[in-house]
């Protein structure tokens, strides 16, 4: 059908997807939209409201407008395609459908999502539907979304909604400082790219959250009647150095593999034909219905971008966990990817923590996507140098005075912490130095009508006091340019912090 069908279903219940609200679900509840498995039909079953249907169905609309449902994605990501399944809805399916998407807090309420502050983006224009059919629609939207609004025109029933895409985790909170994570997990962006066979259980189950609920919630191949073995190929969330591996045969008792091996490669690009594979886990005996942990047994820890689980000769594995730490370059690449895929308003909010000038943040957001840290820093300098005094002064107001904790312009918590660390040199200063800083700060502001800006990172209180006194003698126009250059330096340092380099 469509290539996107092989990608993870971002709204699946098993990974946290939920239907938060529907303006009408008189005949069949909205929660049915995300139920696992295909819809079923019970020919002679009725409720006190009408025919029982396995889907979401609104009443017949007698007023202008259309019906809709709000869906929270289980995992935020880039949408590649949706399937609007109208199975068994024949005389009561919607004529058309459209989908809007937004990025919001995971805990956002329907009231918040429908409020004026939420910016919705149309990702699927109004499109015709067929009844009793799986209706696939590719989506070309480069941004990271968290919620959808499914609009049906004017009313009717939809059996299932599937939203396929690529997971984009919040890498600000994952994998920093060499933290160990499951780099194969779907919630971190891992993918099972292909496998030799999945007759009884689909390959994507291998990396789902939690332990398998039953035998059908794993990857299982048919019985092999000839030579060879079965395998599954995984792309890790990012390049990582491995620490331990877990192979879980939970629920597989008479059909678990006899042995397994794990191989890895470090390869860029989609074509793995030229990849060099190295043995991570040697051929190892497996047990039925058992969680196998491997640490000291690992022969090679990488770094790797892909792993291949080989099972001999066939059988079922419920979960594969591959724990490791992202390499420094991979961590930067993932956080840069997230910045590139944010909606413009979100990107501007992130960038304002580095420089408080709105025109600068807007200019940077417009220049995305960035390919590297060097790209980001070059763009930051170019945009800053294209601004004028009013923009510079706006950026200055986002900083507290040296030795003080509060900026004239409100800072978010991250920017406040950065300011505190940047001014760490004043922490141990004596009372006399602090009093002098306060007095000279006041004198500086009286002379120049803006606060004293200095790239404080690595400087002591005494050094900053000396710089302040020296710059008090500058001509105001010259001093404004000096302060702007200091702001440029601060911005570069903060961008590196934002991308955790």
What CATH number is given to the structural domain containing 95?
2.60.120.260
What CATH number is given to the structural domain containing 446?
1.10.3330.10
366 and 414 part of one domain: yes
247 and 318 part of one domain: yes
Residue 154, preceding bond cis, omega within 30 degrees?
Answer: yes
226's torsion region: left (phi>0), alpha (psi -120 to 50) or beta?
beta
Is the pLDDT score of 2 beyond 80?
A: no
- Domain residues for the domain of 482 are 343-498
97 and 23 part of one domain: yes
Q: Do the domain assignments include residue 333?
A: no
CA angle 75, 78, 84 (to 5 degrees): 80
Q: Do the domain assignments include residue 120?
A: yes
343-371 pLDDT per residue, tens:
999 999 999 999 999 999 999 999 999 99
100-146 pLDDT per residue, tens:
999 999 999 999 999 999 999 999 999 999 999 999 999 999 999 99
Q: Of 327, 359, 379, at which residue does a domain stop? A: 327
Q: How many domains does the chain have?
A: 3
Q: Do the domain assignments include residue 385?
A: yes
DSSP string, 291-338: EEEESTT-S----EEEEEEEEES--EE-EEEEEEEE-HHHHHHHHHHH
317 and 416 part of one domain: no
462-495 pLDDT per residue, tens:
989 999 999 999 999 999 999 999 999 999 999 9
**In this prediction, what percent of the chain has a pLDDT beyond 90?**
83
365 and 467 part of one domain: yes
Is the pLDDT score of 388 beyond 80?
A: yes
Lowest mean pLDDT among 130-134, 381-385, 402-406: 402-406
30-60 pLDDT per residue, tens:
999 999 999 999 988 888 888 888 899 999 9
154-174 pLDDT per residue, tens:
999 999 999 999 999 988 777
Average pLDDT of the segment spanning 253-261:
97
Name the DSSP class of 201. Answer: B
Distance (Å, whole) CA 38 – CA 24: 23
Q: Do the domain assignments include residue 472?
A: yes
131 and 187 part of one domain: no
Could you tell me the CA-to-CA distances from 404 to 233, 440, 457 in Å, in that order? Answer: 55, 13, 15
CB 190 within 8 A of CB 324: no
- 147 strand-pairing partners: 72, 102
197 and 148 part of one domain: no
Average pLDDT of the segment spanning 71-94:
96
155 and 212 part of one domain: no
75 and 199 part of one domain: no
Q: How far is residue 184 CA from its own chain's centroid?
A: 15
- pLDDT for the residue numbered 411: 72
Q: Do the domain assignments include residue 464?
A: yes
Average pLDDT of the segment spanning 217-233:
96
236 and 137 part of one domain: no
Average pLDDT of the segment spanning 192-198:
96
pLDDT band at 501 (very low <50, low <70, confident <90, very high): low
- pLDDT for the residue numbered 409: 73
Stated pTM of the model: 0.87
Distance (Å, whole) CA 293 – CA 208: 18
Based on C-alpha coordinates, what's the Rg of the chain?
28
- pLDDT for the residue numbered 103: 95
pLDDT band at 1 (very low <50, low <70, confident <90, very high): very low
456 and 431 part of one domain: yes
CB 164 within 8 A of CB 81: yes
Q: Do the domain assignments include residue 336?
A: no
> Of 213, 292, 218, nearest to 255 (Cα)?
218
Name the DSSP class of 60. Answer: P
Q: Do the domain assignments include residue 332?
A: no
CB 310 within 8 A of CB 281: no
Q: Of 116, 133, 166, at which residue does a domain stop? A: 166
pLDDT band at 82 (very low <50, low <70, confident <90, very high): very high
Which distant-in-sequence residues (6+ apart) come within 8 Å of 458 by Cβ?
A: 425
Residue 313, preceding bond cis, omega within 30 degrees?
Answer: yes
483 and 353 part of one domain: yes
- Average pLDDT for the chain: 93
Q: Do the domain assignments include residue 171?
A: no
Which distant-in-sequence residues (6+ apart) come within 8 Å of 378 by Cβ?
A: none
Task: Provide the token pair at 77.
Answer: 């990501």
Is the pLDDT score of 196 beyond 90?
A: yes
């Amino acid at each position: 059908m469509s290539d996107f069908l092989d990608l993870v279903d971002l709204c699946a219940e098993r990974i946290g997807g939920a239907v938060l609200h529907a303006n009408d679900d008189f005949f069949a509840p909205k929660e049915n939209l995300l139920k696992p498995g295909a819809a079923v039909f019970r020919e002679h079953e009725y409720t006190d409201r009408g025919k029982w249907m396995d889907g979401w169905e609104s009443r017949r609309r007698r007023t202008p407008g259309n019906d809709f449902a709000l869906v929270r994605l289980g995992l935020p990501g880039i949408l590649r395609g949706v399937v609007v399944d109208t199975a068994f809805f024949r005389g009561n399916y919607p004529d058309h459908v459209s989908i809007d998407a937004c990025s919001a807090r995971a805990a956002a309420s329907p009231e918040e999502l429908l409020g004026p502050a939420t910016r919705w983006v149309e990702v699927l224009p109004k499109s015709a539907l067929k009844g009793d059919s799986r209706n696939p629609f590719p989506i070309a939207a480069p941004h990271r979304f968290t919620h959808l609004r499914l609009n049906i025109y004017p009313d009717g029933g939809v059996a299932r909604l599937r939203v396929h895409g690529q997971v984009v985790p919040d890498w600000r909170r994952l994998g920093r400082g060499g933290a160990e994570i499951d780099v194969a997990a779907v919630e971190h962006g891992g993918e099972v790219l292909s496998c030799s066979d999945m007759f009884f259980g689909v390959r994507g189950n291998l990396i789902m959250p939690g332990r398998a609920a039953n035998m059908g919630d794993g990857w299982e191949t048919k019985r092999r009647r000839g030579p060879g073995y079965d395998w599954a190929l995984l792309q890790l969330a990012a390049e990582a150095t491995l620490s331990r591996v877990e192979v879980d045969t939970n629920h597989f008792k008479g059909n678990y593999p006899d042995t397994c091996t794990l191989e890895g490669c470090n390869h860029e690009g989609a074509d793995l034909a030229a990849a060099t594979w190295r043995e991570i886990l040697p051929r190892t005996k497996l047990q039925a219905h058992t969680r196998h942990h491997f640490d000291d047994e690992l022969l090679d820890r990488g770094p790797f971008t892909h792993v291949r689980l080989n099972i001999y000769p066939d059988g079922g594995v419920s979960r594969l966990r591959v724990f490791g730490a992202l390499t420094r370059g991979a961590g930067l690449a993932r956080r840069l990817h997230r910045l590139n895929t944010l909606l413009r308003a979100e990107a501007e909010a992130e960038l304002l923590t580095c420089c408080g000038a709105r025109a600068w943040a807007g200019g940077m957001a417009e220049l995305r996507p960035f390919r590297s840290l060097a790209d980001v820093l070059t763009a930051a300098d170019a945009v800053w140098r294209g601004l004028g005094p009013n923009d510079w002064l706006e950026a200055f107001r986002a900083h507290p005075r040296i030795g003080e904790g509060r900026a004239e312009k409100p800072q978010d918590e991250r920017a406040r912490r950065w300011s505190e660390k940047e001014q760490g040199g004043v922490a141990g200063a004596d009372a006399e130095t602090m009093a002098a800083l306060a007095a000279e700060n006041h004198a500086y502001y009286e002379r120049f009508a803006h606060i004293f800006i200095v790239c404080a990172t690595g400087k002591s209180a005494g050094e900053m006091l000396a710089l302040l006194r020296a710059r008090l003698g500058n001509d105001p126009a010259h001093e404004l340019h000096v302060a702007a250059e200091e702001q440029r330096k601060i911005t570069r340092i903060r961008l590196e912090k934002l991308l955790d380099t």
